[in-house]
Amino acid sequence: MATLPAKLLKVALIVSIPGGLYLLAVNKHAERDALRQAAVEITPACKAKLQDYALRPGEPYRSPYLRKMTGSWSELRGYSEDDVRAIQRGCNIVDDTQGQLARDGARERWNATRFSRSTHSSCDHCHQGVGDKQDAAGNRPVGSNGLAASWVMADMYDRFTGLLLPYELRQMQCYINSSNGFKPNAADDLLRDVTAYSRFLAAALDLKIGNRYPEQGMDEIAASATLRRGDDYVRGAHVYRQRCATCHGPQGLGTVVQGRVLYPALAGAESFSFDSRMNFARIDTVMPGFICRNMPLGAEGSLDNQQCRDIAIYLSTLPRPAGDKQGPLVAAWQQLMMTVMPPLTRYAESLGSNHTLHAPD
């Protein structure tokens, strides 16, 4: 029979454990609220972007971009200080998801690294120009994956998942697949701030709800858009070495200098997973579209459709993390390959370094 002190101890434990958890939750909420109220230190790219678009608190909002492109103003609902901070934080997340430019690291990015196993991934790698890529004249290139155009077309039927895909769910997929990570909650500030930023871009660019714009998505390239020679990873490897390896590395492992990711990994543990739409083996049109429209940086459009497909199929042969759909055996195998293949490939290439690689036509 339990004695009185033992009983009291049990009761104290039962009360203190949930009580402690409650206090912890209250504390975390207060921390988040303080962060929402704090001034935002924006990244240089975001500073330039948001200054160009004249983001400031007050009524009304007039977009300088619209003035520049059409010569007319449009008066839209202005933003409060809270809204401005949310937009600034969202821009920071897109530009620097890993918090490498932040003074307080990941905390200033709502700890986005919790949801990403990859230490390279940043939204800006696929959604270039901080989610709003433009040429010198201010035109938005086709297939540049603009966030504003995605926002106005959100909730549409997604043929890859069979869902009506809300914007937040689409962002979750980016974390799960492109960052090989985990799903944030739909109401997490991390997603909400990126949504706020995307919506601001849509206002600045004067995009209308439900209209399709050329910068939306990847401008996929199907085999039918080539001369149908077949996709060839040997040809792809050759073009990759000529046009991509300088930045992304000979094995696609990316370039990191002093802890900062200059060019992201396209293979290996820091790369996107098998489940990503970027994986050619899963969807064979998205990655070629991305390459053709957005790569190499500064020389976009210099690769033809077949070259883009060849590079994409080559990248799909490199080891990368398994996704949720592949199961533990494939995951273990990929883990082994990601460990073993880079040194083996380096060794093999050092043996043949005196020979010129045969370039198939």
Q: Does 211 bind another protein (CB under 8 A)?
A: yes
> Residue 145 or residue 271: which is nearer to another protein going by CB?
145
Task: Out of 39, 72, 162, 208, point to the residue binding another protein (CB under 8 A).
Answer: 208
What distances in angstroms separate CA 156 from CA 73, 150, 170, 290, one per listed residue? 30, 10, 11, 21
CB 163 within 8 A of CB 236: no
> Residue 33 or residue 349: which is nearer to another protein going by CB?
33
**Other beta carbons within 10 Å of 264:** 24
CB 137 within 8 A of CB 211: no
Please identify, among the stretches 138-146, 204-212, 227-235, 302-310, the one whose residues bind another protein according to the rule CB under 8 A. Answer: 204-212
Task: Out of 102, 166, 234, 337, point to the residue binding another protein (CB under 8 A).
Answer: 166
Length of the chain in residues, anyone? 361
Task: Out of 61, 274, 290, 314, point to the residue binding another protein (CB under 8 A).
Answer: 61
Q: Could you give the CA distance from residue 97 to residue 106 in angstroms, rounded to a whole number? A: 8
Query: What number of chain residues touch another protein (CB under 8 A)?
Result: 36
Q: Does 32 bind another protein (CB under 8 A)?
A: no
What's the farthest any 2 CA atoms get from each other in the chain? Answer: 86
> Residue 186 or residue 357: which is nearer to another protein going by CB?
186
CB 36 within 8 A of CB 28: no
- Measure the CA dihedral 74/80/81/85, to 10°: -70
Q: Please, what is the minimum distance in Å from the beta carbon of residue 169 to another protein? A: 8
> Residue 157 or residue 347: which is nearer to another protein going by CB?
157
Q: Could you give the CA distance from residue 279 to residue 200 in angstroms, rounded to a whole number? A: 30
Distance between first and last Cα of the chain: 86
User: Hey, CA dihedral for 305, 306, 312, 315, is it positive or negative?
Assistant: negative
71-100 residues near another protein, rule: CB under 8 A: 74-83, 86
Q: Please, what is the minimum distance in Å from the beta carbon of residue 276 to another protein? A: 21
Q: Does 21 bind another protein (CB under 8 A)?
A: no
User: Hey, CA dihedral for 211, 300, 239, 180, is it positive or negative?
Assistant: negative
> Residue 81 or residue 104: which is nearer to another protein going by CB?
81
> Residue 32 or residue 346: which is nearer to another protein going by CB?
32
Q: Which residue ranges make up the site for another protein (CB under 8 A)? A: 60-61, 74-83, 86, 152-153, 155-157, 164, 166, 186-187, 192, 195-196, 199-200, 202-203, 206-212
